[in-house]
Amino acid sequence: MAIAATTINILGIVFLSHAVYSAYEHSLLPSSSLPTPPSSILPHIIDPKINLPLDITLETLFSVFLLCVGVVLSSPELKPIQWNVWAGRLERSKEARVVKEVGVGGGNPYAVLEERPGFLDIRGRRKEFAGWVREGER
């Protein structure tokens, strides 16, 4: 799939480069320097001063479409939105358990937040309290 995406991206770049060059060459023609009639739809500021032929416009749109498809196909696999699913996958992978340098690797990246000093462990406190209550009843 990566080879096809690279090929599509290269084709898109070639077509876009040709369309840009064709538009530049068309702008240099003496016939293109004639004033164009103002558009009734577009505001004066964004009204084009040169009318491009339809083939250049279509080639530009086609090349942009090819580039969009190529970029989407060559993008990496999406990660899950839920962080616990992602962290679970990360904890199960062998590469993630290897500590490469300080702060990199070692399983769940959020484990340090749950093990920090001063972090209130509600479940642990609840178990301690339940044990204390059971001891008091005896």
The two tokens of residue 104 are 């990199």
Task: Verify that 16 and 43 share a domain, yes or no.
Answer: yes
Among 74, 95, 116, the domain-final residue is: 74
Asked if 99 and 105 touch (Cβ cutoff 8 Å), the reply is: yes
Residue 58: the pLDDT is 95
Task: Verify that 51 and 103 share a domain, yes or no.
Answer: no
Could you give the CA distance from residue 71 to residue 1 in angstroms, rounded to a whole number?
12
Quote the pTM value: 0.53
Task: Verify that 64 and 12 share a domain, yes or no.
Answer: yes
pLDDT in tens, 44-53: 777 666 778 8
The residue that leads in pLDDT, 81 or 128, is: 128
Task: Verify that 9 and 70 share a domain, yes or no.
Answer: yes
pLDDT in tens, 13-57: 999 999 999 999 988 887 765 666 777 777 777 766 677 889 999
The two tokens of residue 15 are 């077509």
Among 26, 52, 74, the domain-final residue is: 74
Task: Verify that 34 and 95 share a domain, yes or no.
Answer: no
Task: Verify that 99 and 69 share a domain, yes or no.
Answer: no
Could you give the CA distance from residue 53 to residue 116 in angstroms, rounded to a whole number?
66
Task: Verify that 56 and 102 share a domain, yes or no.
Answer: no
Cα distances (angstroms) measured from residue 70 to each of 12, 14, 34, 79, 99: 8, 13, 38, 20, 35
Question: 102 in the Ramachandran plot: left (φ > 0), alpha (ψ -120 to 50) or beta?
Answer: beta
Task: Verify that 12 and 68 share a domain, yes or no.
Answer: yes
Task: Verify that 59 and 98 share a domain, yes or no.
Answer: no
User: What mean pLDDT is reported for the chain?
Assistant: 80
Domain that holds residue 69: 2-74
Residue 76: the pLDDT is 86
Task: Verify that 23 and 65 share a domain, yes or no.
Answer: yes
pLDDT in tens, 75-115: 888 766 777 777 777 777 766 666 565 555 555 566 666 66
pLDDT at 135 over 60: yes
Number of domains in the chain: 2
Residues 6+ apart with CB under 8 A from 62: 15
Task: Verify that 62 and 106 share a domain, yes or no.
Answer: no
Task: Verify that 59 and 33 share a domain, yes or no.
Answer: yes
Diameter over CA atoms, the chain: 104
Among 51, 74, 97, the domain-final residue is: 74
